[in-house]
Each structure stands twice: as C-alpha cells, then as structure tokens.
C-alpha cells in the first residue's frame, strides 16, 4: 500500500495507471474509519483494479464553532484498516497542499446546499463540494463511493458531478448500522454510555415513521409530530430538524404519495447526529 501526501504525485501515478487501462475506485474520507467505510472500500475493491482512499479532515467544511479541532484522527488505526482491506493507495494530503495561500475558488451547489443540514451548518456543503471537486480532479477515478448515511451530501455531490461533467460514476451504498440500529459514524466516538443509549432513538424514530407510512398514514405533519414526541422523551436529545422529503430535490413532502426519505438531525448532548431512511411508496 502506498501512502502519498503530495497531490501532483498521486495525479501523475494514477494518470499512468489509467493509461494502462486500469479502472480506479475512490473512497473519500475524513478518517476515523469504521465499518461504514469498510463496506465502501470492500465494494470498491470488488469493482475496480485499483482502490484509492483519501484521508483528509477538510477544514473548509467545518463552521467556526464546530468540531474541527476535536475531530478524531486515529491515523495509525486508519492506515492499518486500509492495509487490511488491501487498499492500493492512501492519499493523505496536508491542508497547506489542498488550500495553499491565495486559495479563493469554491464550488457551491445552489439550493440543495441550504436545505436540511445546510440550514444549520451554513457553508458546510460548499466546503464538501469544493474538496470533493478537488479530490476528483487530483485522483481522476472511474467510480466514486459514498454512504447513504450522509444522504444530502450524496445528492449534492451527484448534482455537482452531473452539472460540472465530472467523468465519474457515483455509487451510494447503504448505511451500516450496529445491531441495535445506530448508524455508524465517526462522531459516535464522542458519546458516553448513557448518550449511546439515547442515540438509539434516532433509528427508532425513523422506524416508527416507516411503520406509520406502511400502515397508510400519508400526512407528513402527523408523522413528524409522532416521532418528535418519541425523541423528546430522551433527556439528552435536542432535535435540530426532522423532515420528510423527495429523493432528488430534497423538498418537504406534505402528502406521502411517492417514495420519500425521512431524515433527521438530533443533538445528543453536544454531539450532532444525522440519520435517514428511504421509504418506498405502495
């Protein structure tokens, strides 16, 4: 496994690989790798000749009062996991190489970036799309692997890829959950034992919404108030948003008469967690 830090170096290496006809799969990450990342890497290994994983805690996607400094960075463990999965190249850039002095160009997907998480995290998705655009240019993969857990991020990146003609296929793979339903996230590491129990309410709430829809409830407002009630029973839980939206534009749906996604963001103590569930109609 090669670990490369310099963008120009990896670009050159991968260009040579592409010229030899090798198919490249790319998994962008901020490290603190868990089984969710493992599932992306495993799939990428199955479908490509060469797999690249990037590990970069991207400063421009964090707000001024967010957890950039405390974000977990267990690099040794991350590299061990990549080795275990037989990743071919880990791209481990430094901030000064990704954002050298004078950097002023950003990529922003309008509208979609202001909804849901974008409303409480202004500038977050602009930071995500900027770094992903840069990474796609640096790596030049055939397939980009993303997780459904960050559903809004996936929708926005797909939009960017299509709007800006990036020659890459985007694969979005299912959320990996613990047995008790908690979606795997690097931020779960912030939770203490009691908070981990309270955090289970996210998946319970999504599951309740799914049951209500499957039993014929079509009124989104009613469903949302039922799951609000459930979440509010947890002392440490503070709801950021709960929404039922369509799958592409992420617009709120009032009457559930098509496939939809229930998505939510809830703070458990100081840790903001997100989760979602897609529900097929009929």
Catalytic residue list: 37
Task: Please report how close the Cβ of residue 131 comes to ligand PAF at its closest, in angstroms.
Answer: 5
Map residues 71-110 to x or -, x wherever contact with ligand PAF holds by CB under 6 A: ----------------------------------------
Task: Please report how close the Cβ of residue 281 comes to ligand PAF at its closest, in angstroms.
Answer: 28
Phi, psi of 231 (to 5 degrees): -70, -40
Residue 260, number of CB atoms within 10 A of its CB? 22
The reply on whether position 175 binds ligand PAF by CB under 6 A is: no
The reply on whether position 262 binds ligand PAF by CB under 6 A is: no
Task: Please report how close the Cβ of residue 280 comes to ligand PAF at its closest, in angstroms.
Answer: 25
Nearest to 35, CA basis, from 179, 152, 159, 138: 179
The reply on whether position 25 binds ligand PAF by CB under 6 A is: no
The reply on whether position 236 binds ligand PAF by CB under 6 A is: no
Q: How far is Cα 274 from Cα 102, in angstroms, rounded to an integer?
A: 34
Q: How far is Cα 149 from Cα 205, in angstroms, rounded to an integer?
A: 15
The reply on whether position 143 binds ligand PAF by CB under 6 A is: no
Task: Please report how close the Cβ of residue 87 comes to ligand PAF at its closest, in angstroms.
Answer: 15
Contact stretch for ligand PAF (CB under 6 A) within 28-36, 175-183, 191-199, 243-251: 28-36
Sheet holding 237-245, edge to edge: 237-245, 260-268, 271-279
The reply on whether position 264 binds ligand PAF by CB under 6 A is: no
The reply on whether position 117 binds ligand PAF by CB under 6 A is: no
The reply on whether position 150 binds ligand PAF by CB under 6 A is: yes
Site for ligand PAF in 31-50 (CB under 6 A): none
Q: Which of 29, 113, 130, 276 binds ligand PAF (CB under 6 A)?
A: 29
Task: Please report how close the Cβ of residue 234 comes to ligand PAF at its closest, in angstroms.
Answer: 26
The reply on whether position 58 binds ligand PAF by CB under 6 A is: yes
Q: Which of 7, 25, 26, 28 binds ligand PAF (CB under 6 A)?
A: 28
Contact stretch for ligand PAF (CB under 6 A) within 27-35, 72-80, 98-106, 225-233: 27-35
In Å, what is the CA distance from 32 to each residue of 104, 189, 190, 201, 215? 28, 9, 12, 23, 39
Q: Which of 61, 130, 152, 195 binds ligand PAF (CB under 6 A)?
A: 61
Sites of contact with ligand PAF (CB under 6 A): 28-30, 58, 61, 128, 131-132, 150, 153
């Amino acid at each position: 496994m090669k670990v490369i830090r310099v963008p120009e170096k990896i670009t050159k290496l991968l260009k040579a690989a592409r010229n030899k006809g090798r198919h490249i799969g790319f998994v962008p990450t901020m490290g603190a790798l868990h089984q969710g990342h493992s599932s992306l890497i495993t799939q990428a290994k199955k479908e490509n000749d060469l797999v690249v994983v990037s590990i970069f805690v991207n400063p421009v996607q964090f707000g001024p009062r967010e957890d950039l400094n405390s974000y977990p960075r267990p690099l040794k463990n991350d590299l061990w996991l990549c080795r275990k999965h037989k990743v071919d190249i880990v791209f481990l850039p430094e901030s000064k190489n990704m954002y050298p002095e004078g950097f002023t160009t950003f990529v922003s997907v309008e509208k979609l970036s202001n909804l849901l998480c974008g409303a409480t995290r202004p500038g977050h998705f602009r930071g995500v799309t900027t770094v992903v655009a840069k990474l796609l240019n640096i790596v030049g993969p055939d397939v980009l692997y993303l997780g459904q857990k960050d559903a809004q991020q996936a929708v926005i990146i797909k939009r960017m890829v299509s709007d800006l003609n990036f020659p890459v296929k985007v694969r979005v793979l299912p959320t990996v959950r613990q047995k008790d339903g908690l979606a795997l996230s690097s931020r779960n590491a912030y939770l203490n034992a009691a908070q981990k129990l309270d955090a289970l309410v996210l998946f319970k709430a999504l599951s309740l919404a799914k049951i209500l829809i499957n039993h014929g409830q079509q009124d989104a407002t009613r469903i949302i108030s039922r799951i609000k009630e459930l979440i509010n029973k947890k002392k440490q839980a503070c709801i950021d948003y709960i929404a039922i939206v369509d799958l592409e534009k992420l617009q709120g749906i009032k009457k559930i008469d098509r496939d939809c996604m229930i998505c939510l963001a809830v703070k458990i103590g100081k840790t903001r967690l997100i989760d979602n569930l897609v529900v097929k109609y009929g």
